[in-house]
């Protein structure tokens, strides 16, 4: 591929000599195409023409000014809905669990298609190119966590900071649940530090392998990252667990203190070794495969002086002599996303089924949200081998056969908020629970054991919370210890406890003697009413779990024993806190909130489940229409404003480097616009940018 580029480079001035006025003050057609395609995905003729004649400075300024922090199309409604009860769903049985995780994979596919539509239709392709760059740089495979909400929110993180301050992006990635799970920082605590995230943060995310840090720096950084984890029982968000954190003195890159994750980005970025690695990666994405050391040093100085803001760095890079140099055109091999999305945008071909494009990218080796490892996808010539070259030609041939579709075709069903029944109007002391999950039922001996449940979609009076996990340990001597995991309901519930501990999550433990002796400074009057409701209604809550896996497959406690245990809790609460003052409302939570796609799985057969999956997959298809759409090859060719033969006009819009002279063959092909475009697109030169 490099040889192709080198061989044809000499023909560039022969076939398309640059006019005398070409250069920084007035872009030629070829220069305009270079700017548009390098800073985005492909270049439609109208995009190129809009840039022709502008100065380099004006063109770069316009592209940077268009960068967005919010997407063109809203993300699916479920991205910001209830965090799904992944760790509890098993309790509902095999059918519910299977459908739940099938839906999660379909939701991830939904996000892939959403992002492809964004790439195709965005007015700021540089935004999407930067989001993809950071997705590859901070590579985390969604298959490790299977959580589409995490995948979507990570995309939002990259989008928000794509061209902003790198320190904010680096801080955000250290609090990203998907990354914390992918690099096992959830297993990093003061007793057994885990170095994975610390090592990759220095080696792959910031400094670069072997640049300025030592093994001891990695060890100390791992200590700083202890306790930065994900809430297991709550909404599965990032949390800082002070009990798991190493609060000791650490020395990282010569900086000594009681450091934690909040300190790590700035410590690294203040180190003299920081900067060149990121600049080199950006250079390889936008300029050439081989970074120029002098230019990297110059750009790093500019970036440092801008306090690591991205736009000044990008502006300087896009205005560099190297970016515009003819010798650097046609030197970058297009990634599958750049190839396929760029072709859609360049040719103005609407995509009636984004499923097809999504599957094509998977076959070509660049499935969005699934980089192969923490090092990201291949780069440059590594994208091309015998198998992928053939697959690329096949996918392009298929894409060239798309028929244009109306702009409003392809319903965006997946983008519409799915309806969920509104919560019933409650009296001030009524307790409503959408779904109960048995999470533990163990028997220690006669009359003693442990019983714990997660209550999902909880309403109490005017409050509505995602979940509360409540547990009771019963001892033979009629003593009890209770636990509440209340991360999803603070500070409205147990607000005084929350203020005293300053903990954003966690377990509230209390013993029966504390209640009996009125040692309850951590409770407000409202908390007492809520606790009385939870404990007083405990028998009915447990009774509602009949048929859950804990009982159908056996557990330490039988359902009858669990009901007896729960009654002891209710009797104790009645004697010490008083009986519940309101009613208990138990009903299946709206399945959409539970993450089951809006269906009731109770009693669903295997065939019904299969049919549901097929129907939902079909309903989730959407189409995408590029910003500039051309209804025919003739219309596309007419939009190319450069002069000369049709074949050369087409080449100037489609190729970074022109094809070698092909004599009469190209003249014959030029008589058929579809054949002409197909001939150029299927040439090896089309793989270069």
Percent of the chain past pLDDT 70, that is, above it, reads 91
> How high is the pLDDT of residue 444?
85
Indicate if the pLDDT at residue 493 is higher than 80: yes
User: What integer pLDDT is reported at residue 491 of this predicted model?
Assistant: 81
- HSE-up of 236 (CA within 13 Å, CB side)? 21
256 three-state secondary structure:
strand
Is pLDDT above 80 for 15?
no
Under a CB-based contact definition with an 8 Å cutoff, are residues 601 and 95 in contact?
A: yes
Q: What angle do CA 369, 102, 588 make, to 5 degrees?
A: 125
Asked if 372 and 362 touch (Cβ cutoff 8 Å), the reply is no
pTM (global) more than 0.95 = no
Tell me if residue 292 falls in helix, strand or coil: coil
Least reliable range by pLDDT among 90-104, 140-154, 376-390, 651-665: 651-665
Cα(334)–Cα(689) distance, integer angstroms = 6
DSSP tag of 79? G
Task: Check residue 409 and give its pLDDT.
Answer: 38
Give the pair of three-digit tokens for residue 305: 């002086």
Chain centroid to CA 68: 17
* pLDDT at res. 12: 31
pLDDT for the residue 672: 85
Phi/psi of residue 217, nearest 5 degrees: -60, -40
pLDDT single digits (tens) 538-549: 999 999 999 899
Question: For residues 16 and 23, what is the distance between their CA atoms, to the nearest angstrom?
Answer: 15
Does the structure show a pLDDT above 80 at 668? Answer: no
Cis peptide before 491 (omega within 30 of 0): yes
Among 208, 132, 201, residue whose Cα is nearest residue 377: 132
Q: Does 201 score more than 90 pLDDT?
A: yes
Q: Is the separation of the CB atoms in 645 and 667 below 8 Å?
A: yes
Q: If DSSP codes are grouped into helix, strand and coil, which group holds residue 196?
A: helix
CA angle, 212 as apex, 310 and 314 as ends, to 5°? 15
In the block, tokens 């999470």 appear at 439
Record the tokens describing residue 450, joined without a space: 């442990």
How does the average pLDDT of the chain come out, rounded?
89
From the list 3, 33, 64, the residue with the least C-alpha distance to 324 is 33
Task: Name the β-bridge partners of 165.
Answer: 309
User: What distances in angstroms separate CA 472 from CA 333, 375, 476, 508, 535, one per listed residue?
Assistant: 61, 46, 13, 12, 9
Backbone angles phi, psi at 225, to 5 degrees: -90, 0
Q: Give me the mean pLDDT over the 678-687 stretch.
A: 92
Contacts of 564 (CB under 8 A, 6+ apart): none
pLDDT-derived band at 16 (thresholds 50, 70, 90) equals: very low
Closest-CA residue to 440 (of 126, 154, 88): 88
- Give per-residue pLDDT as tens, 414-455: 333 344 444 567 788 899 999 999 999 998 888 788 999 999
Q: Are 316 and 299 in contact (CB under 8 A)?
A: yes
């Amino acid at each position: 591929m490099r040889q192709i580029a080198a061989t044809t480079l000499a023909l560039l001035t022969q076939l398309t000599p640059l006019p005398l006025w070409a250069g920084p003050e007035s872009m030629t057609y070829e220069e305009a195409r270079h700017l548009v395609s390098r800073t985005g995905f492909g270049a439609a003729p109208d995009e190129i023409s809009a840039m022709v004649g502008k100065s380099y400075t004006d063109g770069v300024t316009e592209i940077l000014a268009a960068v967005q922090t919010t997407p063109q199309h809203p993300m699916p409604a479920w991205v910001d809905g209830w965090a799904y009860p992944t760790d509890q769903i098993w309790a509902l049985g095999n059918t519910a669990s299977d459908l739940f995780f099938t839906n999660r994979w379909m939701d991830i596919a939904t996000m892939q298609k959403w992002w492809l539509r964004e790439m195709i239709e965005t007015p700021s392709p540089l935004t999407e190119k930067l989001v993809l760059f950071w997705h590859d740089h901070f590579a985390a495979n969604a298959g490790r966590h299977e959580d589409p909400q995490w995948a979507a929110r990570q995309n939002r993180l990259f989008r928000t900071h794509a061209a902003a301050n790198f320190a904010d992006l680096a801080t955000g990635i250290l609090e990203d649940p998907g990354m914390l799970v992918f690099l096992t920082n959830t297993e990093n605590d003061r007793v057994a530090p885990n170095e994975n995230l610390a090592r990759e943060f220095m080696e792959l995310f910031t400094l670069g392998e072997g640049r300025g840090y030592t093994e001891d720096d990695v060890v100390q950084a791992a200590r700083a990252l202890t306790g930065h984890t994900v809430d297991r029982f709550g909404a599965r968000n990032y949390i800082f667990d002070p009990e798991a954190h190493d609060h000791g003195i650490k020395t990282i890159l010569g900086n000594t203190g009681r450091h934690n994750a909040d300190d790590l980005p700035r410590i690294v970025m203040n180190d003299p070794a920081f900067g060149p690695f990121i600049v080199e990666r950006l250079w390889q994405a936008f300029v050439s495969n081989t970074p120029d050391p002098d230019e990297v040093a110059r750009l790093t100085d500019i970036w440092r002086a801008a306090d690591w803001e991205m736009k000044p760095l990008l502006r300087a890079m896009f205005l560099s002599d190297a970016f515009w140099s003819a010798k650097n055109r046609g030197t970058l091999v297009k990634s599958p996303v750049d190839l396929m999305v760029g072709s859609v945008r360049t040719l103005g071909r609407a995509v009636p089924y984004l499923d097809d494009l999504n599957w094509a990218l998977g076959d070509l080796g660049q499935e969005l949200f699934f980089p192969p490892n923490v090092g990201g996808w291949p780069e440059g010539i590594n994208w091309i081998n015998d198998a992928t070259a053939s697959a690329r030609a096949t996918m392009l041939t298929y894409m060239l056969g798309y028929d244009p579709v109306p702009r409003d075709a392809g319903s965006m069903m997946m983008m519409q908020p799915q309806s969920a029944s509104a919560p019933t109007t409650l009296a001030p002391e009524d307790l409503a629970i959408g779904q109960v999950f048995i999470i533990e039922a163990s028997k220690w001996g006669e009359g003693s054991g442990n019983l714990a449940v997660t209550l999902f979609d909880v309403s109490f009076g005017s409050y509505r919370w995602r979940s509360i996990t409540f547990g009771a340990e019963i001892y033979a001597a009629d003593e009890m210890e209770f636990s509440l995991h209340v991360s999803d309901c603070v500070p409205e519930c147990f607000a005084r406890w929350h203020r005293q501990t300053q903990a954003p999550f966690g377990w509230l433990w209390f013993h029966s003697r504390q209640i009996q002796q009125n040692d309850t400074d951590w409770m407000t009057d409202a908390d007492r009413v809520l606790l009385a409701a939870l404990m007083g209604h405990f028998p009915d809550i447990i009774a509602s779990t009949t048929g859950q896996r804990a009982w159908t497959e056996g557990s330490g406690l039988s359902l009858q024993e669990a009901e007896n245990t729960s009654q002891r809790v209710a009797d104790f609460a009645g004697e010490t806190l008083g009986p519940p003052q309101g009613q208990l409302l138990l009903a299946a939570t709206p399945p959409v909130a539970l993450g089951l796609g809006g269906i009731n799985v109770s009693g669903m057969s295997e065939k019904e489940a299969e049919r549901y999956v097929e129907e939902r997959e079909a309903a989730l298809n959407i189409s995408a229409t590029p910003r500039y759409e051309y209804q025919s090859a003739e219309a596309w060719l007419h939009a190319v404003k450069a002069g000369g033969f049709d074949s050369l006009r087409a080449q100037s819009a489609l190729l970074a480097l022109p094809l070698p002279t092909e004599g009469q063959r190209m003249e014959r092909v030029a008589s058929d616009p579809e054949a002409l475009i197909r001939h150029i697109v299927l040439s090896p030169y089309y793989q270069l940018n």
